[in-house]
Amino acid sequence: MVKSLRTGKLVYPGPRDVPHAWAYLPDLARAFVALAERARADDAPGFETLHFAGHTMTGTELLDAVEAAAADLGIVPPVVEKRGWRHGAMPWGFIRVMGFVMPMMKAIAEMSYLWRVPHALDGTRLAARIGPQPQTLPRQAMCQALVKLGFGASPAPGGQATQ
């Protein structure tokens, strides 16, 4: 999605108006570490399906969060005065063709329908076990993720990037 961030292009794999479940992995990890710690103290069942609610956002909302986080890091598209951010789509046809020679691409293409189906995760059962789930705001999560991907330094509390 952000491979071409510095050139002002973002790629989203599906329709940008379809809600999709997202999780910031550090929040997900904290939730399930809390569950594991609680399970040692409780008589927890051996198997239970628990969902981490995370965030449900459309592609547009996710891309808006990425753009805002990029701005917090001082990254702006080079053509901002003309067009601003450009949004591209996944080349699903090409990926399907590549699937004839690369099994991984075939598997990825087979899962592409998930981007066209709206979905969200209900974290009620997990919250009943661990309490409120960790939930970093999308803009902050995107900012932290972009920093980890090498797109700048963490922003100071006022929003300016620091080294």
pLDDT digits (tens, 9 = 90+) for 3-22: 999 989 999 999 999 999 99
Does the residue 94 lie in any domain? Answer: yes
Report the candidate in 1, 129, 117 with the shortest Cα–Cα distance to residue 67: 1
Does the residue 31 lie in any domain? Answer: yes
Number of neighbouring beta carbons within 10 Å of residue 147 = 17
| Alpha helices, H only, the chain | 25-41, 59-72, 92-98, 103-110, 124-130, 138-148
Does the residue 155 lie in any domain? Answer: no
Cα-based torsion angle of the residue sequence 66, 32, 18, 144 in order, rounded to the nearest 10 degrees:
0
Provide the number of structural domains found in the chain: 1
Q: Which domain holds residue 26?
A: 5-148
Give this prediction's pTM: 0.83
Q: Is residue 143 predicted with pLDDT exceeding 70? A: yes
Does the residue 158 lie in any domain? Answer: no
DSSP H or E segment with residue 88: strand 86-89
Does the residue 159 lie in any domain? Answer: no
Does the residue 89 lie in any domain? Answer: yes
Does the residue 27 lie in any domain? Answer: yes
Q: Tell me the one-letter amino acid at 45.
A: P
pLDDT digits (tens, 9 = 90+) for 27-77: 999 999 999 888 765 666 667 889 999 999 999 999 999 999 999 999 988
